Structure 1
Amino acid sequence: MSFDRSLARCSFCGRHTSEVRRMIAGPGAAYICDECLQICNDILHDPTPFSTQALELASRPPVVIAAPQALGLERPAHSAEPTRSITLEIEQKQQGMTLILHQLHYFEDYFELHYLWIRPPLMAGFSFVPRIIFFLKDNTGAQWTGERGGMLLARPELASGPNNAVYQGNARFKPLPNREARVLTIRAADPLGQFEETPPQPWHYDVHLTV
């Protein structure tokens, strides 16, 4: 689907195309403006490990790019179609947050887990974009940790009110599960939750893989 690049925002400072002289497009919804690019260039040529500019850049609040309204829950565009898809639609709630596992998509040499994360709005000032960390294990003993090449998009149009925020995400894992795998155990954790007075327990799901 097409995307109006006049709505683009710099992933480093959050300014729109109309507010900067030049905007350079990267993969997906990633952009960088000419001023932030110059700052990055200055940091690269500064021998100081933690220069003033580097610390200022790292301390900026995250810029979470909103998905186009028409995206819905479809899979973000890829160069190849999945060879197999499994609809999950399972959810768990804890401490004011809900994690909904939406679908599993199998590709030629990797698979993706698509999800919705509903939680209270994040306070301004975090120096990194919120993420869900995953640990996967199937009944054959194969394991996958973290995520590679995933993305997280803000979905404000799905929020039911000002007291919650909705994020649409996907996490990518390699290699594919073994053909003999029948049950995939998925554990997910919110790293920011570790700073709460009562840290939440990891979400735990047992997904049955259809033949």
Structure 2
Amino acid sequence: MTRLSVNINKIATLRNSRGGDNPNVVRTALDCERFGAQGITVHPRPDERHIRYQDVLELKEVVTTEFNIEGNPTEKKFVELVLKTQPAQVTLVPDALGAITSNAGWDTIAHRDRLTDLVQTFKSAGIRVSVFVDPIEAMVEGAKICGADRVELYTEPYAAEYFDNREAAVASYVRAANVAKEVGLGLNAGHDLSLDNLRFLKQQIPHLDEVSIGHALICDALYYGLENTIQMYLRELE
């Protein structure tokens, strides 16, 4: 079964746009779980423009499904936050300061030493480690050498090319996924996955462990309602 982890960053973005506490991030996370989501994902950034560090601490106290914290581990504050909250999973993402959203995976060869140290730090604390990578076989193999438990495939290129030629768009992901399976890595995927393209990805990569979806899911919830939307995404993963 492929698990659905809902990224609630956009809920925090909406809240922060007006100040106050509406919508409430914790309540939304609990609702997502109640409506069937099997995980909650957050991606705190140093400027706290959406999820705040305090949100992460509060969510840790109430989330009962899988809690996944994404972020750039070169930020000391991020590493300290993860070690303090001890989520089920940390996803290491090399997003630059000020980036609107994540836009590339790690070069697991060039950054091998740094990633190896970080992976060991988190695994020593009992936290599963996933490394965000492009669908390149060598990058997947590099993540394994670094000691990671999983890789998360960066799926924005797949989403961008999906409507032009979905078979071509998914080809590199299938190859990368097969390498992950061969070397014993778990497999996640995320970025720009939607009701349009999710089912085909799942069909082509049946051993996918988890997808993390935020932007498209929250946008769909404006039209379909949050409960119905989560159920729609779960059906795409069946």
TM-score range, shorter chain: under 0.3
Larger Rg: 1
TM-score by length of 1: 0.27
Which of the pair is proportionally richer in helix? 2
Which of the pair is proportionally richer in strand? 1
TM-score by length of 2: 0.24
Higher relative contact order (CA 8 A, sep 6+): 2
